[in-house]
Chains A and B, each alone.
Chain A
Amino acid sequence: MNVIETERLTKRFGDFVAVDRLDFQVARGEIFGFLGANGAGKTTAMRMLCGLSVPTSGTERVAGFDIGRQTESVKKSIGYMSQKFSLYDDLTVAENFRLFGGIYGVPSREIPSRTDEMLELLDFRSEKNTFVKSLPLGWKQKLSFSIAIFHRPGVVFLDEPTGGVDPVSRRRFWELIYEASDRGITVFATTHYMDEAEYCHRASIMVDGRIEALDTPARLKQAHGAASMDEVFRNLARKATRRAD
């Protein structure tokens, strides 16, 4: 069963076609890597899938809902972690859990126990009452991720979740992603780290607003006769005419 389906999904800003007729499907429980150079249109596409941006044309269905018509229903069943840290830094860790749990309709009796469970998972218990602004970056990102999955959504969208984080923390972060996937959460993630692309079940590579390749990492490497995803990526990205900004 497909959790994400798009058909000719397009976004124009004036004359500029940021996202050009995307067609792809993501199956339930899959970890889907959404790769591309800066300015290739990844974030724009992801924002459309989350209902943050309205497509110029095309259809998109997420978790069984048509985003154009049932935007608010879609939002109940997705989680989103933006590229820029966007939790309330003047609230504590627990307060952020409480706020977003509450907004997503997690029953108020369950919020404390789920919070503890999450903190346990992140190995974070000591920071329960720490103000978010005083956390180091790597921890902030783990927190963002756990808030995105706190209400147990069907799909979670991660926009460059490991940007600016050291390799050890990145490794640990992907363990979290696998744990989520094991629990049936579909993960849709953009990244610039090609070693991370290797962890995905399937990956797509966007060039100039279009998906140029989409398959499992193994088959992508095979098709391009490449030893690593990094090589595949460089092969494709070379074709780009659009200047990254």
Chain B
Amino acid sequence: MILRYLLEKEFKQIFRNRFLPRIIFAFPCVALLVFPLAANFEVRDIRLCLVDHDRSHASSRLVRKIAASGYFKLSRQAPDHRSALSSVESDESDMVLQIPPGFGRDLVGTGTSRVTISANSVDGVKGGIGSAYLSGVVAGFADEIRQEIHPEPAGAGPGRIETVPRLRFNPHLRYESMMVPALMVMLLTMICGFLPALNIVSEKEKGTIEQINVTPVGKSTFILSKLLPYWLIGLLVMSIGLVIARLVYGLVPLGSLGTIYLFACLYILAISGFGLAISNHSNTMQQAMFVMFFFVMVFNLMSGLFTPVSSMPEWAQATTRINPLSYFIEAMRCVYLKGSGFRDLQPQFLALCACALVMNGWAVLSYRKTT
């Protein structure tokens, strides 16, 4: 079996490298410890600048309610709108709440009143969610006042609709619960994508590939010998990830580990095959690195890792159908948080099978023993 000798060689080369083994072990650890802390879109501690022209009982009650909501931190009291805006410009505050004169009087007298919320929306998530939170608190405050003024008479015609939200799968709205399983996918992409992409082209740069090309070794045997080591490394990285998720974040998949490993096996094949294909098409490591960097970035951004797929435009959603990351990320989140089983994830499974086949077919075909 030629494959055995080639595999022996690949493993020796990987473990004799000064950097690779360290990276294979250290990168997942560091990444899983730091990424979830940093990759956090959670909006909290919004710095609020207050412009209170009213200074009434009602306005100070509103401010107390806002402070008690837990989302906001009062950063400044400004005398007027202009100085409030400049505090946003200099990044001391994220939002401005302006309470007009006569706010309390109008509220009790005419029943309606207004406030102005100005949110720094350079970061759309923060601006959008922050202003939604603040509007919510203000509406809640209005409800409170209404209850005090007109205690609800029963049977008074069509009235209020109460919505009762039930938060499934992530009841405490922890951002890590969503990020950690997806980050494992990103880790596999980095390690099992970049290393194969650099592998074949480095043999080209060193010239060793020529000595292989004059031998009768088959194309698919050669590609397989490059693929299998990363397959094992990937499964190892995955296992490290699962352990860290359990120990550090207390995350245990609700579904079966078997499903996770099955998907991981397929996904690693797909992404390593892709890396090898890029490597075959490149002449220098620098080229391979850049091409890979480009695709990994696009794959990551378009996969639903950071932003929901459903909020992309149609054409962009269509691209997620050929993006192996999006299938694996969806599967990981489903298994981890919802306890989905293999049968629930059949479409993703089949799609990943197709990706793996196409990528590796491409890798074998693009490997040329002749020029």
Question: Do chains A and B directly touch (beta carbons under 8 Å) in the complex?
Answer: yes
A193 interface contact, C-beta 8 A: no
The reply to whether A87 and B211 form a contact with Cβ atoms under 8 Å apart is yes
- How long is the Cα–Cα vector from A103 to B215 in the complex, in angstroms? 7
Contact of A88 among B4, B208, B218, B369 (CB under 8 A): B208
Known contacts A85-B207, A102-B4, A91 near B9 by CB under 8 Å: yes
Contact of A91 among B12, B212, B213 (CB under 8 A): B12
A95 interface contact, C-beta 8 A: yes
The reply to whether A84 and B370 form a contact with Cβ atoms under 8 Å apart is no
The reply to whether A95 and B12 form a contact with Cβ atoms under 8 Å apart is yes
Annotate B71-113 by CB proximity to A: 1 below 8 A, 0 otherwise: 0000000000000000000000000000000000000000000
A201 interface contact, C-beta 8 A: no
Annotate A73-92 by CB proximity to B: 1 below 8 A, 0 otherwise: 10110111010111111110
The reply to whether A54 and B16 form a contact with Cβ atoms under 8 Å apart is no
A71 interface contact, C-beta 8 A: yes
The reply to whether A80 and B2 form a contact with Cβ atoms under 8 Å apart is no
Annotate B186-228 by CB proximity to A: 1 below 8 A, 0 otherwise: 0000000000000000000011111111111110000000000
Query: Which of chain B's residues has its CB closest to A95's CB?
Result: B12
Annotate A99-136 by CB proximity to B: 1 below 8 A, 0 otherwise: 11111110000000000000000000000000000000
B163 interface contact, C-beta 8 A: no
- How long is the Cα–Cα vector from A137 to B306 in the complex, in angstroms? 53
Contacts of A79 in B (CB 8 A): 214
The reply to whether B370 and A88 form a contact with Cβ atoms under 8 Å apart is no
A184 interface contact, C-beta 8 A: no
Known contacts A87-B208, A102-B4, A53 near B370 by CB under 8 Å: yes
- How long is the Cα–Cα vector from A186 to B13 in the complex, in angstroms? 33
A98 interface contact, C-beta 8 A: yes
- How long is the Cα–Cα vector from A71 to B9 in the complex, in angstroms? 25
Known contacts A91-B9, A102-B4, A75 near B208 by CB under 8 Å: no
Q: State the Cβ distance, B181 to closest chain A Cβ, in Å.
A: 36
Contact of A95 among B9, B208, B212, B213 (CB under 8 A): B9
Known contacts A88-B13, A95-B9, A103 near B210 by CB under 8 Å: no
The reply to whether A90 and B16 form a contact with Cβ atoms under 8 Å apart is yes
The reply to whether B2 and A103 form a contact with Cβ atoms under 8 Å apart is yes
Q: State the Cβ distance, B1 to closest chain A Cβ, in Å.
A: 8
The reply to whether A100 and B210 form a contact with Cβ atoms under 8 Å apart is no
The reply to whether B13 and A91 form a contact with Cβ atoms under 8 Å apart is yes
The reply to whether A71 and B12 form a contact with Cβ atoms under 8 Å apart is no
Contacts of A101 in B (CB 8 A): 5
The reply to whether A76 and B216 form a contact with Cβ atoms under 8 Å apart is yes
Contacts of A195 in B (CB 8 A): none
B233 interface contact, C-beta 8 A: no
B371 interface contact, C-beta 8 A: yes
- How long is the Cα–Cα vector from A75 to B214 in the complex, in angstroms? 6
The reply to whether B214 and A99 form a contact with Cβ atoms under 8 Å apart is no
The reply to whether A52 and B16 form a contact with Cβ atoms under 8 Å apart is no
The reply to whether A102 and B2 form a contact with Cβ atoms under 8 Å apart is yes
Annotate B154-179 by CB proximity to A: 1 below 8 A, 0 otherwise: 00000000000000000000000000
The reply to whether A86 and B217 form a contact with Cβ atoms under 8 Å apart is no
Query: Which of chain A's residues has its CB closest to B209's CB?
Result: A86
The reply to whether B4 and A78 form a contact with Cβ atoms under 8 Å apart is no
- How long is the Cα–Cα vector from A102 to B4 in the complex, in angstroms? 8
Q: State the Cβ distance, B20 to closest chain A Cβ, in Å.
A: 11
B8 interface contact, C-beta 8 A: yes
- How long is the Cα–Cα vector from A222 to B264 in the complex, in angstroms? 72
Contacts of A98 in B (CB 8 A): 5, 8
Contact of A50 among B2, B9, B214 (CB under 8 A): B214
Residue of B6, B16, B17, B211 most packed against chain A (CB within 10 A): B211
Query: Which of chain A's residues has its CB closest to B371's CB?
Result: A53
Contact of B208 among A73, A78, A86 (CB under 8 A): A86
Query: Which of chain B's residues has its CB closest to A147's CB?
Result: B211
Q: State the Cβ distance, A131 to closest chain B Cβ, in Å.
A: 9
Known contacts A50-B214, A78-B214, A88-B13, A99 near B8 by CB under 8 Å: yes
The contact sample of 13 A-B pairs, CB cut-off 8 A, is A52-B213, A52-B369, A80-B211, A86-B210, A88-B9, A89-B206, A91-B9, A95-B12, A98-B8, A99-B9, A102-B5, A103-B5, A105-B2
**8 A-B pairs closest in CB distance:** A102-B5, A80-B214, A86-B207, A75-B216, A86-B211, A84-B207, A76-B216, A103-B215
What is A's interface to B at a CB cutoff of 8 Å? Answer: 47, 50-54, 71-73, 75-76, 78-80, 82, 84-91, 95, 98-105, 147
What 13 additional pairs, Cβ within 8 angstroms, besides A99-B5, A102-B5? A75-B216, A78-B214, A82-B207, A82-B210, A85-B207, A88-B208, A90-B13, A91-B12, A99-B8, A102-B2, A103-B212, A103-B216, A104-B216
